[in-house]
Amino acid sequence: MGKLDGRVVLVTGAARGQGEQEARLFAAEGAKVVLGDVLDDAGGALAKELGEDRAAYVRLDVTSEGDWAAAVAAAKERFGKIDGLVNNAGILRFNELVSTPLEEFQAIVSVNQTGCFLGIRTVAPEIAAAGGGTIVNTASYTGLTGMAGVGAYAASKHAVLGLTRVAALELAGKGIRVNAVCPGAIDTPMSNPEGVDPAATAELYRKLVPLGRIGRPDEVAALALFLTGADSAYITGQPFVIDGGWLAG
C-alpha cells in the first residue's frame, strides 16, 4: 500500500531538483504523476524512467494560462482526473532592491507568484470535481523572513504564503487542503548555479545551519508527501519550515 495510491498529482518544475524528487517519491507511493516543466528533455526522460503507466510529461510554463489549460486537459485524458497539485516551479536571482531591473523583478514574480496563482485557479476546480484533494505550494525560508540580496524572490515567496492561506479558506468547503513548504538551503541546481562550486555552497551551509549541513531535495519531497497524503488530513493553510533550524536563530 502506497500513501498516494489512487491519486493523480501534477508537479510543476518536475524536471530536476525538488520537483524531480517529489515526482519520484509520489510515484513510488502509488500516485500517477504529471510532470510539468519547460525543460522538455529532462522532464520527458524522467517520465520515461518512471513508466508510461505512472507518469506523463507535459510542457507547462507556469506563467502561461494556455499551458495550464493544456496540462490539465492532458492529465485528465491520460489519468482521468487530477486530485493533487504541487506548485514547485520557481526561479531565483540575486540583486539588491535598488539595483534590480523592473524586468527581473517582474520575471521572478511572474514565475513564483503568478505561476502559483494560475495553478490554484486552474487546478482547484478539477480537484473539487474529483471529490477533493490537496495543493502544496512551494514558498521558502524567505517567505517568512527577509534576506539581503533576494528582494524580488522574498517578495514573491511571501506572496505564496498569502495565496496559501486565502486558498485554504476558500477551498476548505470543497474538500481541498492547501499548505506550503518553506525550505531553507537545499542542494539543487538553484543553490549551485553555474560558476558556483557545490563544495563551497556545502561549506557555507555547514557553518550557517544549526544542523550543520545543506538540506537534500528528497527531504523536502518527504514533507510534500506528508502534506499531500492522508497523514495531514486535519492540516490546512499552514507554512512548514524545513531548514535545519536556520530560521530558529
**String marking each residue 15-34 x if it binds ligand NAD according to CB under 6 A:** xxxxx---------------
The window from 121-129, 144-152, 188-196, 224-232 that contacts ligand NAD (CB under 6 A) reads: 188-196
Active-site pick, 57, 153, 205, 234: 153
Helix 115-129 vs helix 65-79: angle between axes, to the nearest 10 degrees?
30
Encoded amino acid at 47, one letter: A
Residue of 150, 152, 153, 127 whose CA lies nearest to 139: 153
Cβ nearer to ligand NAD, comparing 120 with 185: 185
For residue 58, state whether it binds ligand NAD (rule: CB under 6 A): no
Tell me if residue 57 is catalytic: no
CA dihedral 55, 59, 60, 64 (to 10 degrees): -160
DSSP string, 153-186: HHHHHHHHHHHHHHHHHHHGGGTEEEEEEEE-SB
Q: How far apart are CA 25 and CA 38, in angstroms?
A: 21
Give the CA distances from residue 154 to residues 144, 195, 241, in Å, rounded to whole numbers and listed in that order. 8, 23, 15
For residue 151, state whether it binds ligand NAD (rule: CB under 6 A): no
The window from 3-11, 167-175, 183-191, 200-208 that contacts ligand NAD (CB under 6 A) reads: 183-191
Cβ nearer to ligand NAD, comparing 3 with 61: 61
Please report, as residue ranges, which positions from 220 to 239 form the binding site for ligand NAD (by CB under 6 A).
none
Q: How far apart are CA 89 and CA 71, in angstroms?
A: 14
For residue 154, state whether it binds ligand NAD (rule: CB under 6 A): no
Q: Residue length, the chain?
A: 249
Binding-residue total with ligand NAD (CB under 6 A): 29
Residues that bind ligand NAD in the complex, under the rule CB under 6 A: 12-13, 15-19, 37-39, 60-63, 88-92, 111, 138, 140, 183, 185-186, 188-191
Q: Hey, which residues are catalytic here?
A: 153
